[in-house]
Chain A
Amino acid sequence: MNHRKLGHGAATALLGLAIVGLLWYAVTALGIVSRVFVPSPSAAFGSLIRGVREGDLPLQSLATVKLMINGWLLSSVVAIVLGAAIGISASARQTLEPILEFMRPLPASAVIPVAIALFGLTPGMMLGVVAFGSLWPALLATVHGFANVEPRLTEVARSLQLSRMAFIVKIGLPNAVPDILAGMRLSLTVALILAVIVEMLAGHAGLGTAILLAGRAFHSDDMFAGLILLAVIGLLSNGVLRAFERKLLRWRQ
């Protein structure tokens, strides 16, 4: 992309955001939606700035981001190891697939009451729930990546008499990396959602709890400050991973 095109893209992006901002302002200024639910943009951003400068917002954001990233890293490791095993070995696939197929569409939030009953309101429980929920996108993508190695490469490996371990490291993994990265990016989105839910349910300090408490106190400006931060966290983490993906996969283009 050249500079002119980039500038043009940024201009249309700003235009789009400006239109949404204007709509938001109009809706609150004209009283279409009560200020009790939706604050004016200036009130929301004012609360955001106040919260970041002198309030707990940085600490709460940090707690949520930490939970999201730790759970995501845990699930990514499990997904890659398990996914490689399922993708490579037919008997592992036949043994594990039915159980995984059943667990995959299970709403991860439905596991939270069970996790609370078993492990209590502990940090370990929260981490486990985030990891469990964010496991599936990365796991499915990893299985797909390992299972779809070019048949000729498999033949090459056979004629070179590569061991199974060497096959995984030298052929399977490089082949699966694009799928794994795309899956991990989806997993991170899920991890953020689950971090917010599990915080709300466990009453643990974080952005989810902050939004919940602000809502209960009818402080809509504080609630929107939290929502804005959550959107920024989601956008940033997705953008960083996408940039990393592009850099790592440059050799394929």
Chain B
Amino acid sequence: MNRSVWLGAALPLVLLVGWEASLRLSGLVTDSLAPPSAVVASFGSAVSEGTLFKDTGNTLAALALGLLLGAGPGMIVGIALGLVPALANVARAPVEVLRTLPSVALIPLSLIAFGFGYSMEIAIVAFATFWPTLVLSQAAVAGVDKLLLEVANVLKLGPVQRVLKIVLPAAAPRLIIAVRLAIGVALIVAVTVEIVANPQGLGYALVIAQQSLNPARMLAYLLWVGLLGWGLNWLLVRFERKVAHHGRPPGGPKS
């Protein structure tokens, strides 16, 4: 193994061993902290009981539907605004105002509109993912090379053909980045909604573990949420590289 791997592993290892040892040696009994070994054991029991998968499924379902209802329309509106600058000028101020609104502040509104359950969580995730997707899609389309648009003019393509054959393929890599960022936002918002209000999913499991003074379970869920976020991001970055590589013209990117 090389030096960088050792260095990277050193700090987490030292922290873990120090954490375990300090709790074991001091004989401290606490309701707010558990040693790593207990966290791992609790993680194992959450897996074998099946609660971990059920909670993860709840969160991911809300995430996926919210993303579909938020990032989908966001991308369509963003592409439209990117294509029509006059429309973009009019929309700029309202978009700026609405996208700075913290989506979590809408939890009380969503709660009285939909009650507890999937709908209120999906609504918040949709709102939270709509704006960044819109802004990034608009930038992606507006940033398409002017030369390509001239090519479309020369070929006398109609508006639909122009969008499908020239604009979308050229904007695709940046549209994919927009979706990746939206998925990151969706996970954060879904877990947050569950922590603040919605009694289901990973966020709620975290809160319940804390309130029932079960620090091992709480930390196990925290670890899992972290792994989930990390893994999702890793997958999407790999997917993005593959697609971006595939879509690039031979001879590599032009500088």
Which A residues are closer than 8 A to B by beta carbons? 9, 12-17, 19-20, 36-38, 91, 94-99, 101-103, 105-114, 116-118, 189, 192-193, 196-197, 200-201, 207-208, 211-212, 214-216, 218, 220, 223, 226-227, 230-231, 234-235, 238
Contact = CB atoms under 8 A, between A and B. Distances in A.
Interface in B179-203: 184, 187-188, 191-192, 195-196, 202-203
A216 B101 contact: no
B12 A98 contact: yes
Given A16-B90, A101-B230, A227-B106, A109 B209 contact: no
Contacts of A192: 102
B12 to A, nearest CB: 6
B11 A95 contact: yes
Contacts of A36: 112
A237 B207 CA distance: 31
A150 to B, nearest CB: 17
A235 B112 contact: no
A107 B225 CA distance: 8
B3 A211 contact: no
B145 interface: no
A117 B215 contact: yes
A117 B202 CA distance: 17
Interface string B207-223: 10110000100110010
A110 B222 contact: yes
A109 B91 CA distance: 31
Interface residues of B, number: 56
A110 B203 contact: yes
A200 B112 CA distance: 16
A156 to B, nearest CB: 25
Nearest to A110: B225
A96 B32 contact: no
Contacts of B100: 189, 231, 234-235, 238
A252 B162 CA distance: 38
B31 A117 contact: yes
A200 B233 CA distance: 28
A216 B108 contact: yes
A116 B114 CA distance: 28
Given A19-B90, A36-B112, A94-B3, A114 B222 contact: yes
B195 A201 contact: yes
15 contacts: A12-B93, A16-B92, A94-B4, A95-B8, A96-B11, A107-B191, A109-B191, A112-B195, A117-B32, A192-B102, A197-B104, A208-B104, A231-B97, A231-B100, A238-B100
Given A16-B90, A113-B206, A215-B112, A102 B8 contact: no
Interface in B9-43: 9-12, 31-33
Contacts of A101: 230
Nearest to B224: A110
Nearest to A105: B229
Nearest to A9: B89
A99 B226 CA distance: 11
Interface in B78-129: 89-94, 96-98, 100-109, 111-113
Nearest to B229: A105
A117 B206 CA distance: 11
B203 A223 contact: no
B155 interface: no
Given A12-B92, A17-B93, A106-B229, A114 B210 contact: yes
B7 interface: yes
Given A98-B12, A212-B107, A231-B98, 11 more contacts: A13-B93, A14-B93, A98-B9, A110-B225, A113-B206, A117-B33, A215-B109, A215-B111, A227-B106, A234-B102, A235-B100
